Amino acid sequence: MLFRLSTDLELDPTTGGTRATVKLNGTNSKDPEGGTLTFLWKENSGNTAVIIQDNTLAEPTVIFRTAGVFTFELTVRDAAGNTDTDEVVITVNEMEPANLEIVGKLGPYCNEKTGEKIRLAATPAGGNFSSAPAGVSVQTDANGPFFMPESLTAGTYQLKYAFADGRSDSISFGISQAFKVKFLKPKAKQVPGSGFYDLTFPVTNNGTTQSTQTPVNSVVIRVNREQQSLTLRVSVAASPCSAQAEEKFDIQEIIRSVEQ
CATH of 10-92, one of 3.20.20.70, 3.30.465.10, 2.60.40.10, 3.40.1190.20: 2.60.40.10
Instruction: DSSP letter for 179, please.
Output: B
Give the phi and the psi of residue 26 in degrees, each rounded to 5.
Answer: -115, 20
pLDDT of residue 14: 38
Residue 230, pLDDT > 50, answer yes
pLDDT of residue 259: 66
Is pLDDT at 21 greater than 70 in this prediction?
Answer: yes
Dist. CA 179–CA 238, nearest whole Å: 9
Per-residue pLDDT, 2? 30
CA separation for the pair 26, 8 (Å, rounded): 6
75-134 residue pLDDT tens: 999 888 888 888 888 888 776 778 899 987 777 888 776 677 899 999 888 889 999 998
**What confidence score (pLDDT) does residue 6 get?**
36
Q: Which residues pair with 220 in a beta bridge?
A: 200
Q: Report whether pLDDT(188) > 60.
A: yes
* pLDDT tens by residue, 159-186: 999 988 778 899 999 988 877 888 888 9
| Cis omega (within 30 of 0) for bond into 124 | yes
Q: 139 versus 10: which is more confidently predicted?
A: 139
Q: ∠ CA(83), CA(46), CA(89), 5° rounding?
A: 65
Query: In angstroms, rounded to a whole number, what is the distance separating the alpha carbons of residues 108 and 110?
Result: 7
The Cα 134–Cα 102 span in angstroms is 19
46 in Cβ contact with 57 (< 8 Å)? no
The per-residue pLDDT for range 131-154, each reduced to its tens digit, is 999 888 899 888 889 998 877 888
Enter the DSSP assignment of 106.
-
For the whole model, what pTM was predicted?
A: 0.51
Task: State the pLDDT at residue 5.
Answer: 37
Coil, strand or helix at 98: coil
Per DSSP, the chain holds a count of helices (H) and strands (E) of 1, 21
Q: Identify the CA nearest to 140 among candidates 156, 158, 118.
A: 118
Query: Mean of the pLDDT values across residues 185-196?
Result: 89
Beta bridge partners of 83: 77
Determine contact, residues 182/211, Cβ cutoff 8 Å: no
CATH number of 99-176: 2.60.40
pLDDT value at residue 146? 92
Residues 6 or more apart whose Cβ sits within 8 Å of residue 142? none
- Give mean pLDDT, residues 15-43: 78
User: What pLDDT score was predicted for residue 101?
Assistant: 92
Percent of residues, the chain, with pLDDT higher than 90: 21
User: Which residues, at least 6 apart from 68, have a Cβ–Cβ distance to it below 8 Å?
Assistant: 47, 91, 92
More confident residue, 111 or 193: 193
**How many Å apart are CA 147 and CA 235, to the nearest integer?**
27
In this model, does residue 3 exceed pLDDT 50?
no
User: What mean pLDDT value characterizes the chain?
Assistant: 80
The answer to whether residue 215 scores a pLDDT higher than 90 is no
- Assess contact for 251 and 224: CB atoms under 8 A: no
pLDDT for the residue numbered 23: 83
Comparing 49 with 56, the larger pLDDT belongs to 56
User: Do 10-92 and 99-176 show the same overall fold?
Assistant: yes
Domain ranges of the chain: 10-92, 99-176, 182-259
> In this predicted structure, which of 42-46, 74-78, 135-139, 155-159 has the lowest mean pLDDT?
42-46
Find the helix or strand (DSSP H, E) in which 258 lies: helix 251-259
